[in-house]
Structure 1
């Protein structure tokens, strides 16, 4: 690709039924070949050759790219129209990714000698200058180190250390073999290892008197209140809530996701909160909260389900209101849910569908005249084609596999039958250009295991056909209207002749 700027790939050919001199919609891979979208990178240019199958030979060669709609945007280099874009007529055409004369000329015209590579000679000369500069910098750093060594010796700093060692206490500190021995020699914390600062206590290495886990223990900070003591432990970022009197308990929680089993923990207990506070209008209030709640029948190492609750402050009040709740296989929203931008995101996709949607009313689709263009009556030929579509009853294969004879029967349409009925009347590829027919493809996805051990299942590559039923029913209504109008006209004619 570096020589010609065009990307190459093997066995790429699609059929085309589009017309004109502009971008061409592609109808799908020819038998034994691949689609352009599956073989070339997004936004990449590639050489193409188009050959028409009509009575008058039409052909075109050039470079092209795929636009956002998957159409071939053409830049011809040679054609049956004297090198201009061919005005292709109706009928099938073959579009192939293949080298042609212009591509071969670009390859042969590319120079490969060193002198022909723009900027290479200047870059090599710059590398030589850089080596000289690096050597000079190394010599300067070496000289700077020697100067600093002499300055330190001359400054008398070593004399200060010598003066410290002249005292008995200073000499005893220098004689200690490790940090623990030095702390014991200082002895400033006292035998209990507890220091008080106002209403708080700092406990250092008081493990012997407390039933805390041994991993990473380094102490605690206790904030003392008449009824409740919140103890922040070091080590694994854990904390313990110790109540007094009616609030008495002995619960130990760790922020890294593990919970020490205690007999007094019950489902619904708050494991911990992450809060954000701020001063607004003179009041220091809670702005947001993320709460983790224990959910389980009894505390045990294999029963550690939890629920996340998200809260935000209510306008005009400091009270917190729950906005979102995350549970196992459930997400509950306490308010409206909307995408971050208009008409930019889908709910689900062809490979990950919602099993059912429950709503108090139907969906509202955009129907504003200001958002539409090219308004016209529905073509009679399309209505004729729709008249050949059959409504069906059926059962879903997955439901039969799971429920057997209990699987329910549904009524509706089959997407491929709709496609074939329309293409048979209006030409191959017509149906896929209508909004009522959808075709989704997805690539293979390997199974992954996250840092938390949760496995995300993989999936094979595939595709799925679908229908927009509101558009199908609109076309059905148009067919019914026309049929009724023709019957009424015939009845009126018979009554007039009688």
Structure 2
């Protein structure tokens, strides 16, 4: 077999496999056949490609790639949008860094740097919501200007506000606490527009505070402020101090008086002789004044039962009587309670008007009695 130089082979000519081709092996000149070279190259490449993914334009053998299912899945994504979805990337993944609309801000962007300093003499924080509310907060400064926490409300949208209406809430503050499982409403403070048509010349409001009673989880009204009405408690109808600064006592009937609290005052709506004020001692309600008058103008009316409070503090008999008449005194009135009975000169008739067993009144006489806490006692009497 004749040995040939590389230059003797025509470009692109085929080899039969028996041609002798000079080469070097371990530093020694050799003569190799084309077949030997092909065998050597094939063995070397097989060793180098062992364990490698074979060329496959359609990636049909992608499952054989040694990696995680997620990694193999990423290799099969149809396009970049599908890849972003698989990676869980949001819209910011496609935005450039910049300062204009449609870009993301860099960490040193002027809109971020110093936006929320830890120390400052003046900070203004505005929070806007889609419902049209805007909250401004300006903390105290070294100037004489007062602190301000303000709320503004409008109908419509932030970009196109419309006029607020009667009953709109200008301000609502809710107080909630966590009980280990959920947050619970404990109190609420509301400010509500009062005018039928709120305007720059009619801007009144009502403020209402609601909270929970002991043992309850439902809030109810405790008090409200209304400039045109005053201060009310436990409902709009229960005015305590009106817009003229007049204190209004709560009204009671004598059969349902509350437990006395020293110094307390109430309005007795059905006291004998007419309504009046009552004040409380440690144990009882007493007349707060000399009010309460009952005039008796009939003979039959001179006989009745007198009970403190439901009976008038002063009873005056003017009718002539045709027989002995008696006022029965109900025992148990609070100590210090008093009552006065008078029989006018015009109440003729040679008969007695007995005030219990304490005094018989003739025409033109009077007496005053006082309770010792158990029984009534006569304390004075005289003629008119």
TM-score normalised by length of structure 2: 0.31
- Which is richer in strand? 2
Higher relative contact order (CA closer than 8 Å, sequence separation 6+): 1
Larger radius of gyration: 2
